[in-house]
Amino acid sequence: MNPVVVERPGVVKLATLPPLALYIHIPWCVRKCPYCDFNSHERSGELPEAEYLAALMRDIESMLPSVWGRRIHAIFIGGGTPSLFSARAIDELLAGIRSRLQIEPDAEITLEANPGTAEAGRFRGYRDAGVNRLSLGVQSFDDAMLKALENPARHPHRKGGMRADTAWKISQVGEKLGYPLVCVGIPKTVDNDLAITDNCPGFGSVAKYVATSIREAGFDVASMARTSTRVFVMEVMGRHAGWITAACGLAADKEGDAPQILLFPEIQFDEERFLARVKRVVEGDGYCAIAVSEGLRNRDGAFLSETGLKDAFGHSQLGGAGEIIARLVKDRLGYKYHWALADYLQRAARHIASKVDVEQSYKLGVAAVKLAIAGENAVMPVIERVSSKPYRWRIGVAKLADVANKEKMMPRDFISEDGFHITPKCRAYLLPLIQGEAPPPYKNGLPDYIKLKNVSVPKKLPAFKI
């Protein structure tokens, strides 16, 4: 930290001048997003690159007296969409800055880019100009959301598969441009919807948490069903694939156990069939526990959370899928209900982690590091199931290109014929993943977690040059 000397009130004198970061704004974009309140403007015709660069240089020169002697350690070129500017213009921009200001040799120079405008062919020119970091602006990886936002960068990406696709594309760009870049993916998504790998690290612990939660909630509801709550609804993650919803079904060892009904995104929601099932369950068991996926869809394929339902008076019901289902039960059947949203709790509950999941997560991380050290590129370590009884597994390797943008849905034979529960085959797949307990250490009655200091290490490698 620089020593500070206060000469008189309002005047601070530093013993040494602090470094300086420079932000350059390029305001043009292909289309103005409806939510954006930045100073940005839709491109109309050719961009006035030369005129704008000249204005930027005049602006920088006007500020020189106030920053003279301070060295630039970071430059961020933002917008708008700066990648609309040609590589030649970015080169002239950085050359103009270098001629007016002192830039550290290892300065981080970032160019903000939109996935729809940053073609690989431009990257070499940006890199040659001095850009050593790209900041890719992605508003959403959900096609429907991108369409609503009218964003030109529409991709068929989906969560874990999207991450694999990003890793694969980065590896290809590095290879084309001659960067010594090794890119190894790790199958991380609690949704368990990645292709190739038998299951994803994190899913086993989430499965254990949601199954435990709905079993315990079921006992609670059953205890007061005669005089109070008859229906309990729990919404879990899974916008496109119902693996977490299926895991809730593990809590039901026999007929009548909670949850009696599961609502999967793979099965179109039929309101009348659902209500008839709830009524039958309540009349038979005295209560009903329901697990619903956040991605539940109606017959038209639209998310219930987006369309809502109508109450008895024709008013639209808004909210998540769980809330909508609970209110539907109340409005149509008159049952008192409670509903819960597992949300972050389901993926953060380390205290109830599956021992199998913890072991698999650790070994996948070790395998990924070993692949990187060995120079393997565009690959991902995966879990291969050798057998279910007894449960045996091993680490395999898949190509990122085979994983990218693919989504593993629930097989139809994992879902009961009526669409409201899991089959024995699904149970046989899920049960091994939740086995064993691996509690963290406890202190004063609470989990004692390690917190990373997140201290950056000094740069050791020289700037890469071809």
- Confidence at residue 407, expressed as pLDDT on a 0 to 100 scale: 86
For the chain, domain boundaries: 14-155, 177-444
Whole-structure pTM value: 0.68
pLDDT of residue 6: 44
Catalytic residue at 191?
A: yes
For residue range 350-380, list pLDDT tens digits in order: 999 999 999 999 999 999 999 989 988 889 9
Estimate the share of the chain in helix, then strand, then coil, as percent rounded to the nearest 5.
40, 20, 40
In CATH, which of 1.10.357, 3.30.2400, 3.40.50, 1.10.287 is domain 14-155? 3.40.50
CA distance 101 to 90: 16
pLDDT digits (tens, 9 = 90+) for 186-212: 887 889 998 899 999 999 999 999 999
Task: Assess contact for 260 and 322: CB atoms under 8 A.
Answer: no
Let me know if the fold of 14-155 is the same as that of 177-444: yes
Q: Where are the alpha helices (DSSP H) in 20-108?
A: 49-67, 87-98
* Long-range contacts at 49-52 (CB < 8 A, ≥ 24 apart): 49/85, 49/86, 49/89, 50/89, 52/26
Check 37, 106, 142, 191 and give the catalytic one: 191
Question: At 281, is the secondary structure helix, strand, or coil?
Answer: helix
Q: What is the CATH number of domain 177-444?
A: 3.40.50.460
In 10 A of CB 192, how many CB atoms?
28
Which pLDDT score is estimated for 155? 34
- List, in order, residues 6 or more apart from 110 with CB less than 8 Å away: 74, 75, 76, 77, 131, 133, 134, 135
Structure tokens at 186: 């790790």
Q: Return left, alpha or beta for 69; rule: phi > 0 is left, psi -120 to 50 is alpha, else beta.
A: left
Query: What are the structure tokens assigned to 262, written together?
Result: 């599961």
Q: Cα(442)–Cα(423) distance, rounded to whole angstroms?
A: 38
Q: Which residues of the chain fall short of a pLDDT of 70?
A: 1-15, 32-37, 114-121, 136-180, 307-319, 461, 464-466
- DSSP 8-state symbol, 190: T
Packing angle, helices 120-129 and 87-98, rounded to 10: 10
**C-alpha to C-alpha distance for 236 and 341, rounded to whole angstroms:** 7
- pLDDT score of 141: 47
Block residue for tokens 């970071």: 74
